[in-house]
Amino acid sequence: MSEVQANNKVVLIADDDLATRTFLKAATQKLGHHAILVDNGKDAFDQAKKHRPDLILLDILMPDIDGYTDLRLLRLNWRTRDIPIIVISGYADQTDADRCLTAGANFFLPKPATVAQVRAAINKFLSPATAPEGGEG
């Protein structure tokens, strides 16, 4: 998808693992949304301020700024404080989930997540756009 259609939403995906970014991008695009990819916490915060995405998918363990710090910064900034944030993390016990939710995440999804889990989480915050033809993937 080369252009963002008017009804598509923008999802910022912040994860330092290339395979995870690729997986999350594919899941996002299957729902008809546009993805912006970053591989560190500093870029996540900078791109969130710049683009004001409709949703952020955020890893916790990243270079430069960790996800907990990003959560705090995003919630303190007037441009980003109301953006829904889904934390997708390998730190998956209840304590980690509670810590993320307390820090400002709207939802916590443990890794490894399935395509169905990611899509369901995204759909909690964004209505599916008109997805491109080609079936499920």
Q: Which two tokens stand for residue 114?
A: 């399935």
Residue 132 lies in a domain: no
CATH number of the domain at 79, please: 3.40.50.2300
Could you tell me how many helices (H) and strands (E) the chain has, helices first? 5, 5
Whether residue 120 is contained in a domain is answered as yes
* Residue 30, in any domain of the structure: yes
Determine, yes or no, domain membership for 16: yes
pLDDT (tens digit per residue) in 82-130: 999 999 998 777 888 899 999 999 999 999 999 999 999 999 999 866 5
pLDDT in tens, 88-97: 998 777 888 8
Q: What is this structure's pTM?
A: 0.88
- Percent of the chain past pLDDT 70, that is, above it, reads 88
Domain limits at 82? 10-125
Domain count, the chain: 1
34-38: strand order across its sheet: 34-38, 10-14, 55-58, 85-89, 107-110
